[in-house]
Structure 1
Amino acid sequence: MTNGTTGSFTRRGLLQAFAATTLTAAPTFSHAAGFLRGGGDIRRVRMYSGRTGERIDMIYWVEGEYIADAVKEINHFMRDWRNGQVKDIDLRTIDIMAATHNLLDCSEPYMLISGYRSPETNAMLRSRSSGVAKNSRHLVGEAADLRLSSRSVNQMARAASACKAGGVGRYTGSNFVHMDCGPVRSWGS
């Protein structure tokens, strides 16, 4: 909602945000199977980062249209925190995250463990763990690793799987769920 060069709010961004906030009580994603089609709803993400201390509570989609300034802020929030590199996060991944959160019916924001990962960060993580894929979807902005303290890994994974819209990985030992917009599949326990 800000202009990157001047730091001022754009008129359109402000109007969209105001309109979006008037709709916060509206129902969203009435059922997981239809969350990617149809209008008449809003889509929202709420997250915080334990690494940077940042928080985001953003309505990014209203009545069938993505709000460009909101999506830009989400992309920045989900950047590689180790080196500051930003990548456009696939909108399908953001939709899966939002639909899953809605299905879980909780007000707690996600803790973002990992969003976009630069090739350098992914290589470093691979050198430390066998659980990091060489061609991770994090590298192309198609994945997020998320945690909720009020929900179990299994609860989160079941909700994400109900969306039938991408990959869902359970990482019970590390207490997070991987969600991506790739082929429908699941792994972990």
Structure 2
Amino acid sequence: MHRRNLLLGAAAPLILARPGLASASRPAPPAPRRLVLRHAATGARFTGIYHNGLSVDPGALAEISAVLADSRTGTVQGFDPSVLDILWETGQRARARGEFLVVSGFRTPETNAAVCGAGNSQHLRAGALDVCVSAAQLASFGEAALGLRRGGVGVYAAKSFIHLDSGPVRRWGDVPGGSSGSSGTPTPVVPDRLSRIADAWASARLP
């Protein structure tokens, strides 16, 4: 019995050293993050991997920042990758993995005023996205975004778009409870103001 135990003990390092068994205990590497974005006003498009699972690709981020530039002036501002992560994660949770049509990305102060944006809008720092969502997906997409509890989420059912930003956690619009999250105050949905915003976006690009 003693000799059998010794033989088994000697074989253990050989078993552990087998490549298949050694790699089985290692966690799988993080999956790359891919986005397909198109700006509604300019038609500019990004398709590709912006994050390798560990860090943001600077080249891809520069391309995305150009796609999400101010639609009136073409001014480019380096986009906050945190809001791209929020969009990607929301899409994964809601199983919305096709093209995201972006109504508004970065805004200069002049453009923000032209579309009746809030004076402290996260769009001014390239930290917000307004994304068109179909009526069929609006509820699930909104719930997925709210479930992350990261940044601001505004749901505008009448106009079929959702606002996502990487600012303080808060909520407004057509969301459950209709109130803000842990901080801030709810922003009411004013139909006339939304109509003016939509009209302004439609003619936002300079000739």
TM-score, with normalisation over the residues of structure 1? 0.73
1:170 matches 2:170: no
The structural deviation recorded for 1:150 is: 6.9
Map of 2:108 onto structure 1: 118
Name structure 2 gaps, 5 residues minimum.
1-27, 175-207
| Distance in 1 of aligned mates of 2:168 and 2:109 | 22
Cα contact 1:109–1:148 (8 A) shared by 2: no
| Distance in 1 of aligned mates of 2:53 and 2:106 | 27
Kindly provide the amino acid, as one letter, of the partner of residue 156 in structure 2.
Y
Map of 2:45 onto structure 1: 55
Name structure 1 gaps, 5 residues minimum.
1-37, 127-131
For residues 150 and 61 of structure 1, do their structure 2 counterparts lie closer, same or farther at Cα, with a shift above 3 Å needed?
farther
Deviations 1:85-104 (A, max 9, x none): 01111111010011111112
Q: 2:63 aligns with which of 73, 93, 115?
A: 73
| Distance in 2 of aligned mates of 1:102 and 1:61 | 14
The structural deviation recorded for 1:55 is: 2.2
1:108 matches 2:93: no
Higher mean C-alpha deviation, range 88-97 or range 148-157: 148-157
Map of 1:180 onto structure 2: 165
**Count of aligned residue pairs for this structure pair:** 147
Deviations 1:115-160 (A, max 9, x none): 000001011112xxxxx21110000111000013374322221111
For residues 90 and 69 of structure 1, do their structure 2 counterparts lie closer, same or farther at Cα, with a shift above 3 Å needed?
same
Structure 1 or 2, whichever has the larger Rg, is 2
| Distance in 2 of aligned mates of 1:80 and 1:39 | 36
Map of 1:18 onto structure 2: none
TM-score, with normalisation over the residues of structure 2? 0.67
| Distance in 1 of aligned mates of 2:157 and 2:112 | 21
Map of 2:72 onto structure 1: 82
Kindly provide the amino acid, as one letter, of the partner of residue 53 in structure 2.
E
Cα contact 2:133–2:162 (8 A) shared by 1: no
